[in-house]
Amino acid sequence: MIEQFQAALAALASTAVVSQDPVAILVPALQERGITEVIAWADPLLEQLGLPEAARRAGIAWYTAAPGSDPAEIRSVAARAGAGVTTADFAVAETGTLVLMSGPGRPRTANVLPPLHVAVVPVDRLRPDMAALFHELSTVAGGRGMPSGLHIVTGPSRSADIEDVLVRKVHGPGEVIVILLP
Partner 1 sequence: MTLRERIRVELSKTRKRQAIAGATWGGVVAKWQQWKRLEQEGRLQDLRDRARDAKNKALGNHAQYLSQFVQQVQERGGQVHFAGTGAEAVQQVLAIARRAGAARVVKTKSMATEEIGLTHALEAAGLEAVETDLGEYIVQLAGEPPSHIVGPAIHMDRYDVAAVFERSLGAPVSSNPEELAAVARRVLREKFLHADMGITGANFGVAESGTVVLVTNEGNADLTTSLPRVVVAVMGLEKLVPTWADLEPLLTLLPRTSTGQNMTVYVTALTGPRQAAEPDGPDELHVVVLDAGRSRLLGSKYQDVLRCMRCGACVDTCPVFRQVGGHGYGTVYSGPIGVVLTPLLQGTAEARELLDACSLCGACTETCPVQIPLHELIRSQRADREPGRAERTLLRLWAWAWSSPKRYRFIAALLRWVTLPFRRNGRLTWAPGPLAAWYAGREFPAPAPVPFHKRWADLEKEVGG
Q: With contacts defined by CB under 8 A, name the span among 15-23, 25-33, 61-69, 120-128 that binds partner 1.
A: 61-69
The reply on whether position 80 binds partner 1 by CB under 8 A is no
What DSSP assignment string belongs to 7-41? HHHHTTT-EEEE-S-HHHHHHHHHHHTT--EEEEE
Q: With contacts defined by CB under 8 A, name the span among 20-28, 82-90, 118-126, 163-171 that binds partner 1.
A: 163-171
Q: How many CB atoms lie within 10 A of CB 54?
A: 17
Q: Which CB contacts under 8 angstroms, 24+ apart, belong to 59-63?
A: 60/27, 60/30, 60/31, 60/35, 60/36, 61/36, 61/37, 62/38, 63/37, 63/38, 63/39
- Residue 53 CB, nearest distance to partner 1 (Å)? 22
Q: Build a one-symbol-per-residue string for 30-59: x at contacts with partner 1 by CB under 8 A, - elsewhere.
A: ------------------------------
Among 19, 31, 36, 69, binds partner 1 (CB under 8 A): 69
The reply on whether position 75 binds partner 1 by CB under 8 A is yes
CB 75 within 8 A of CB 84: no
Measured CA to CA, the distance from residue 108 to residue 91 in angstroms comes to: 17
Which of residues 21 and 47 has its CB atom nearest to partner 1 in the complex?
A: 47
Among 61, 109, 125, 181, binds partner 1 (CB under 8 A): 109
- Residue 116 CB, nearest distance to partner 1 (Å)? 13
